[in-house]
Homo-oligomer: A and B are copies of this chain.
């Protein structure tokens, strides 16, 4: 699906080597021709690992594999491919994960359960494991500390630009680094896409604390974005801590020592999550939905997601139409406490509706100008309580239909 780069694309930041991480990417010929589709990562001994995975009840075989393997909280390797998601592949899928992990473990000198796996691409087709395992020795021989961009590109599917972000954080006065990349365009598009995210840090963090930090940070980032409301069978976010940085010991329960680390991790994940929305299939506008005054934060999030997932709101944004009526209707359909006669709607910085009706004679010029921009902000205040939430989405355009509905035209 070769297409123009998203108008919302952002450039790749410089990706420096990170102690304890070596990578290699290459072309295994799993499905695509003439491009990288596989990467291998070697992690230093002692690396701890955490993961957050899709809530989809029909997860891919790699998700099952990693959920189980991560119980030990350790990783020495990571193998990821594009072109085939290894989802709904039954026993063959489970065998493919075992064989892939075993082949990588053999090369890396570790146990298979210390190898994490991620796959993205077509659903329901048997993963050509032999092509993947045949390519691994070459990748192992090529491992280097500077192959970050190639790895980020190797797992792209309908993505139109590679996505990476970096942060530094402090643990007990010492500086540690965080560096990660992700792929994703539709929240799910089984023929083409899913969301995979790989984050690495040189910090030394016990597995339990690492998992807690990741879960918290994902809750504040990837769980607040939606492209098309379709939850992938393969969504995975990994966090690996190589333990190569020098800093005071982090206790098993994490706690205050990880406060800055967790905040920076959430910040990094939010940047990556927004890149996924910026590369949402067919996206031409990035949309931020802020809901305030809800009865709780959970209620605010459900209202915000109802707005962000509304096809009518999303097509209105595509048409650069400040259609606040559709926003009110989406609030109403969320099923959450909301009072028609107290809520207000803001587009950009202009309040367009309040107290149950349109703001008489609001200035349409700044609203129209805001809608013509690439980044649209929608605010809804329910005036019922103190719950608030922010979610991000993109518009729904002809591009989405082209990518997902026009295979045969």
Residues of A participating in the B interface, judged by any CB pair closer than 8 Å? 55-59, 87-93, 122-125, 186, 188-191, 228-233, 309-312, 314-321, 323-326, 328-341, 343, 353, 355-358, 395-398, 400-401, 404-409
Contacts and interface: CB of A to CB of B under 8 A. Distances in A.
A19 B407 CA distance: 53
B357 A92 contact: yes
Q: Which 10 A-B pairs have the closest CB atoms?
A: A123-B325, A58-B332, A90-B357, A315-B405, A190-B325, A56-B332, A315-B404, A231-B333, A318-B405, A90-B356
The winner among A87, A189, A326, A333 for most chain B CB atoms within 10 A is: A333
Contact of A329 (B56, B311, B323, B328): B56
The winner among A88, A310, A324 for most chain B CB atoms within 10 A is: A88
Contacts of A339: 57
A124 B89 CA distance: 51
9 contacts: A56-B333, A57-B331, A57-B337, A57-B339, A189-B326, A230-B312, A311-B404, A314-B405, A318-B401
Contact of A311 (B87, B228, B332, B358): B228
The winner among A87, A93, A229, A401 for most chain B CB atoms within 10 A is: A401
Given A332-B56, A398-B398, A405 B319 contact: yes
Contacts of A405: 314-319, 321, 395-397
Contacts of A332: 56-59, 231, 233
The winner among A311, A331, A408 for most chain B CB atoms within 10 A is: A311
B340 A88 contact: yes
A228 B321 CA distance: 19
Given A321-B407, A321-B408, A189 B123 contact: no
A31 to B, nearest CB: 14
A233 B328 CA distance: 9
A93 to B, nearest CB: 7
Contact of A397 (B310, B340, B396, B401): B401
Contacts of A398: 398, 401
Contacts of A186: 312
Nearest to A311: B228
Contact of A315 (B58, B188, B335, B400): B400
Nearest to A93: B357
Nearest to A398: B401
Contacts of A400: 311, 315, 401
Contacts of A338: 57-58
Contacts of A91: 356-357
B228 A312 contact: yes
